[in-house]
Structure 1
Amino acid sequence: MKQFTFSDINRQSGEILEAALIEPVALTKRGKEKLVIITAEKYHQLIGNSRAVAYTLEKAPDDIHNELMEGLDAIIDDSDDA
């Protein structure tokens, strides 16, 4: 991860932003990381997709429903073994 200081922002903002499109960039102040610049895509991956969709069990698409039921069956099987 590339590092730049807060004072570099005024002199090298273009370079910093270009670097952040490729990989996370750390901004330091007095030798300590204070901020990390990441792409919007990476940010959304980290916080979870803000465009998530919720379904009721009855209205869930078949693949979602099947995955949920398999997960529940696995949990029940594990509790039976205990």
Structure 2
Amino acid sequence: MRQFTTGDLNKQVGDVTDAAAREPVVLTKHRKPRFVLMSYEHYERLRTGGDPRQSHHTAGMPDEHAELFGAALDRLARGEGYDDES
């Protein structure tokens, strides 16, 4: 878990909130952990105890996911890489 000072939060709010969007971050004051900043989605998962994400065995994968997965594997096999690579 990344840590920032409360001063960092004041000076670099964008960096701190970007990090908190990915995972909870600890905010320290006088070198002691004081707060945790996290995305609302993460908070809701903690609050409700639920996680809306699902995993499937490939044999039981919904057809629409299997098609997307197969297309991604085909792209990788052709050496096209990932969508976010330049």
Query: Match of 1:20?
Result: 20
What residue ranges of structure 2 are gaps of 5+ in the alignment? Answer: 50-86
Q: Aligned partners of 2:22, 2:9: CA distance in 1, in Å?
A: 17
Larger Rg: 1
Match of 1:35, SS?
strand
The one-letter code of the counterpart of 1:20 is A
Q: Aligned partners of 2:30, 2:10: CA distance in 1, in Å?
A: 16
The one-letter code of the counterpart of 2:40 is A
Query: Match of 1:7?
Result: 7
Deviation at 1:47, TM superposition (A): 1.1
Query: Match of 2:47?
Result: 47
| TM-score of the two chains, using structure 1 as the length reference | 0.55
Deviation per residue, 1:27-80 (Å, 9 max, x gap): 00011111001111111111117xxxxxxxxxxxxxxxxxxxxxxxxxxxxxxx
Deviation at 1:9, TM superposition (A): 1.4
- Number of residue pairs matched? 49
| TM-score of the two chains, using structure 2 as the length reference | 0.53
Deviation at 1:10, TM superposition (A): 1.7
Q: Aligned partners of 1:14, 1:3: CA distance in 2, in Å?
A: 14
What percent identity do the matched residue pairs reach? 43
Q: Aligned partners of 2:24, 2:9: CA distance in 1, in Å?
A: 15
Runs of 4+ deviating beyond 6 Å: none
Q: RMSD of the alignment, in Å?
A: 1.2
Match of 2:12, SS?
helix
Deviation at 1:5, TM superposition (A): 0.5
The one-letter code of the counterpart of 2:41 is E
